[in-house]
Structure 1
């Protein structure tokens, strides 16, 4: 004997095999189909052909989008074939497609450095900086207002002609390093780990007086390379009171007013934080 579930499945199968009631004439005689089978097959074939063509077009477009996207993320792996197809007029992207491509590229830049310079992760979140200084920094209301005003005013200048230098004084535990970290976290997405941020600790990076000349060359070279790599740099010098006078003299050219240069598309912005 068949169970209830098996009986239901057999009835469903028989109902699918039997022709619909409209196909039967009076007295239970089946009516002739009069070419309906051929017409239905033709319509199904045309629909299948159209679907296949749309799938082919979508697949080709997806491959092209992926080629353009991968060339942006991994330019070293982009071959001449992809470049030729990208230059082809037949593959000119629509505006909406280009916007989606830009969104994908921006999303990928949150995981990899995919821009020509190292400043694609500069955020300058002044609202977040103001909130952090107000909520997380206690007992330093004067420093809170001055730091926010100075940093925002400097970074919003169209073409600053000199670096911004801020000096934080106080005993250990007064919040000098805390404020420096908040600045880095709100100006750069990677915070202190950003390629545009560099911290020097006097007793660690410049420990021996006999190597001052070497330290001067190293310091100026690192500043120059970072400024070439980033349009906005942040240098933090901890224990600045222990810096050798020769190192402070090496910093003088970077702190003085600079003549405007037309060679840069964007003006260089540099912030020095001296923690004493």
Structure 2
């Protein structure tokens, strides 16, 4: 038994080539750092079997599946039935990542919006949390989330949140969660830390988005789930808490938002 506070990397990409070649070591390093669970994210539904296999092979790993907005134009449009079928797996705990990305792929905005609404419907029906990617699309994102929530409630996390205070308020008003990535630990991210500091602690998660966005002292290098601990330690400072208190709070938040993972843990 370890005295290291336990946390969860709520968003990583263990099937990406930077990590998949040494998965046992990556998972072991995460556990050594106190990262007791990881949610690996499938970004293209044709990759779902490979991502599912990673979750099946590694006890601390769960997974989510969806079509990333930057892939919508090149991939078959997801269907609600397809997502609901995948959601039957006991370690599949979230719908996505989905969302809007107008930074690189604004030309597919209409298709991205259609895909987002499909994923929202699947989240609503499955009662699994929606995992949102949003970049340079704040107005449309806020509008769609409000419109869809008015049609029927669903749960959601704004993953790797680095958008405006206005979008943060919209998400929090809908009882959604905001996730802190390594960006929040960068020295020049004071404005982003202020957005989180103004949010209820009960609505905050931590993640790596690995292999991207490594926090200091690993910035510019390959990220991995073990580094969630660096982000979480900096985040604890943002909330004026010691690390153990912050870790415990984010674990409660994760299990509230991802009850299927909490139930699986209890049943294991």
Fold-level similarity (TM above 0.5)? no
Larger-Rg structure: 1
Greater helix content: 1
Q: TM-score, normalised by structure 1?
A: 0.24
